[in-house]
A and B are shown apart, each in its own frame.
Chain A
Amino acid sequence: MSSLLCSSIGKKLLMGLSGLFLMMFLLIHLAVNSLLLVPDGGDTFNAAAHFMATNPAIKIMEPLLGVGFLIHIVWGILLTIQNRKARGSSRYASGNKTTGVSWASKNMFILGVTILAFLVLHIAHFWVKMKVTGDPLLEHTLVNIGGVDTEVENAYRLVNATFSYLWIMIVYVVAGIGLALHLSHGFWSSLQSIGFSNELWRKRLNTVGQLYAWIVGLGFSLIALLQYLFYQG
């Protein structure tokens, strides 16, 4: 097993599997976020956030998610360092004129670092406040869940207040586009790395991958933008 994970393909397997796991998380995250657009003062979103915070399955997944991020980041850095070394010390003076290679696929590391920088900010904005320090905006509110009035944290108010700042909205929109680019290569690439691709499936995975990437990436961007424009006050 250790020799598998030390090999180049083994390392790519870890990158691919952690990537696929994170992509699943992004879908769930986007689904919950989309409730921010339900115009009911945030009751639906608060109910969903309450469910996510109390559901035991989600509680188990949370540390796993952290591990997934950690593996993806650490191995990404490791592989990039190795690849730089393998490229050699001298560069081509005539540059690289190979056509038909997507920009995203050549810049996955830069895009990854961009997303990581955003992630730090994002965690400080929400996760730290909701799980560690608390925030006056989170003061409990009553939400009717399945006919029962339940006291829940007002996560919506925190989100809504955060997105009232122009710079935060812009950072989130840009990060969403960066994420879309990262995923536009990442989706197909993760499956290719674990061996699930061939001549036929490559075309299919590419199509699905582009769709997934831009729906998820622009989805997050759009929610931040709409929150800023139409859900304030």
Chain B
Amino acid sequence: MENNINIKLKVWRQQNARDKGRFETFKLDNISTDSSFLEMMDILNEQLVNEGKEPIAFDHDCREGICGMCSLYINGRPHGPDDDITTCQLHMRKFKNNETITIEPWRSAGFPVIKDLIVDRTAFDQIIAAGGYVSVNTGGIPDANALPISKDEADEAMDAASCIGCGACVAACKNGSAMLFVSAKVSQLALLPQGRVEAARRAKNMVARMDDLGFGNCTNTGACEVECPKGISLANIARLNREFLVAKIQD
């Protein structure tokens, strides 16, 4: 069932980090509702290139929802008007004919705009570099039952590990807080014996880095959890609070 719609786009354009930036509007006709949101952006950019104009810069890579590269704040929501998906998994069938779609970059002090819709998310890399790893080689898959891990813990660790670091949590948060991201990265390792050894140091260093980078304080509002494309739970934030407080008190 092919269905085409005409849309109006209001896109944020910004030359560089110092530029003030502004919205530009574009009209696109005959967009298939079966096309993905990023395919629509490609069509728009083709059109701009053919007109001799500069195409819109936006982040994307795997286009199957696992790399965490795509971003975009679409019509008031990170990753657009659908739940538990990334922008690359958003389809044009979610929009109506003649709808005006507003596209903005992630906005927060921790993620400055580089150009148009691309923001600098290296802050997340810096937080990971502060401790989001296991520092020794833990070898291959251990023998079954050699290192017993309960099903519940394994599930929770796996759920936390599904965080792709896209930054939607920060974009959605009214405080520009990165707590959901940091808590997922701390949890996925703290729940397993291989990561448990360095859990205290990890929590302290990653939180310290997060604070240094100017992310806000968590107010347990939960917008991050709603907008997270991977459905990372606020329970991870409670675990991070526990890990961090216990580690600090033990010092």
B110 touches A86 (CB 8 A): yes
Are A3 and B235 touching (Cβ within 8 A)? no
Contact A101 to B109, CB < 8 A, known contacts A13-B245, A93-B104 = no
Contact B222 A105 (CB under 8 A): yes
CB distance from A27 to the nearest CB of B (A): 22
Within 8 A of B (CB), among A75-103: 79, 82-83, 85-102
B238 partner, pick from A11, A87, A198, beta carbons under 8 A? A198
Instruction: Tell me, yes or no, whether A189 is within 8 Å of chain B by CB.
Output: yes
**A133 CB → nearest B CB, Å:** 39
Chain B residues within 8 Å of A, Cβ to Cβ: 10, 12, 21, 23, 73-77, 81, 102, 104, 107-110, 172-177, 179, 207-208, 210-211, 214-223, 226-227, 233-235, 237-246, 248-249
Residue of B nearest to A9 (CB): B244
Asked if B108 and A86 make an inter-chain contact with CB atoms under 8 angstroms apart, the answer reads yes
Residues of B within 8 A of A92 (CB): 73, 76, 104, 107
Q: Are B244 and A105 in contact (CB-based, < 8 A)?
A: no
| Residue from B76, B172, B216, B249 in contact with A94 in the complex, judged by beta carbons closer than 8 Å | B76
B-facing mask of A177-203, CB < 8 A → 1, else 0? Answer: 000000001001100111111110010
| Bound complex: CA A194 to CA B249 (Å) | 13
Q: How far is the CA of A39 from the CA of B151 in the complex (A)?
A: 59
Assess whether B226 is in contact with A97, with CB atoms less than 8 Å apart.
no
B217 surroundings in chain A (CB, below 8 A): 8, 11-12, 79, 82-83, 86
The smallest beta-carbon distance between A197 and chain B, in angstroms, is 4
Structural contact, B108 and A4, CB atoms closer than 8 A:
no
Question: Could you give 14 example pairs across A and B, Cβ below 8 Å?
Answer: A8-B217, A9-B240, A83-B174, A83-B175, A86-B110, A86-B214, A89-B109, A92-B76, A96-B174, A98-B226, A189-B219, A192-B238, A193-B241, A195-B238
Q: Knowing A7-B244, A82-B217, A83-B216 touch, does A98 contact B107 (C-beta < 8 A)?
A: no
Q: Is the CB of B207 within 8 A of A8?
A: yes
CB distance B241 to A98 under 8 Å?
A: no
Assess the A195–B245 pair: CB atoms within 8 A: yes
Does residue A106 face the partner (Cβ distance < 8 Å to B)? yes
Residues of chain B lying within 8 A (CB to CB) of residue A4: 245, 248-249
Chain B residues, Cβ within 8 Å of A93:
10, 12, 23, 102, 104
B80 closest partner in A (C-beta)? A97
CA distance A100 to B225 in the complex (A): 10
Q: Contacts of B239 on A, CB cut-off 8 Å?
A: 195, 198
B241 partner, pick from A97, A106, A108, A195, beta carbons under 8 A:
A195
B244 x A192 contact (CB < 8 A): no
List 7 additional contacts besides A4-B245, A8-B179, A100-B226; criterion CB under 8 Å.
Answer: A7-B207, A11-B217, A83-B174, A83-B216, A86-B214, A88-B107, A192-B237
A10 within 8 A of B: yes
Asked if A94 meets B241 with Cβ closer than 8 Å, knowing A7-B208, A82-B216, A199-B235, the reply is no
CB-CB under 8 A for A99 and B107, given A105-B219, A108-B219, A195-B241: no
Contact A87–B109 (Cβ < 8 Å): yes
**Nearest neighbor of A8 in chain B, beta-carbon distance:** B217
Docked CA distance A198–B241 (Å): 11
Query: Out of A88, A91, A185, A188, which one reaches B109, CB within 8 Å?
Result: A88
Residue of B nearest to A199 (CB): B235
- Residues 166-224 (chain A) with a chain B CB within 8 angstroms: 185, 188-189, 192-199, 202
The answer to whether A3 and B248 have CB atoms under 8 Å apart is yes
Q: How far is the CA of A8 from the CA of B183 in the complex (A)?
A: 13
A83, closest chain B residue (CB): B175
Assess the B248–A10 pair: CB atoms within 8 A. yes
Which single residue of chain B is at the shortest CB-CB distance from A108? B219
Q: In the docked arrangement, what's the CA distance between A89 and B109, Å?
A: 7
Considering the chains assembled together, what is the distance between the CA atoms of A3 and B173 in angstroms?
25
Report how far A95 CA is from B73 CA in the complex, Å.
Answer: 10
Q: Could you tell me if B238 and A196 are in contact, using CB atoms closer than 8 angstroms?
A: yes
Chain B hits for A87, CB < 8 A: 107-109, 173-176, 216
Q: Are B210 and A8 in contact (CB under 8 A)?
A: yes
Shortest B95–chain A CB gap in Å is: 13
Q: Find out whether the CB atom of A98 lies under 8 angstroms from the CB atom of B175.
A: no
User: Are B102 and A94 in touch, CB under 8 angstroms?
Assistant: yes
CA distance A88 to B216 in the complex (A): 10
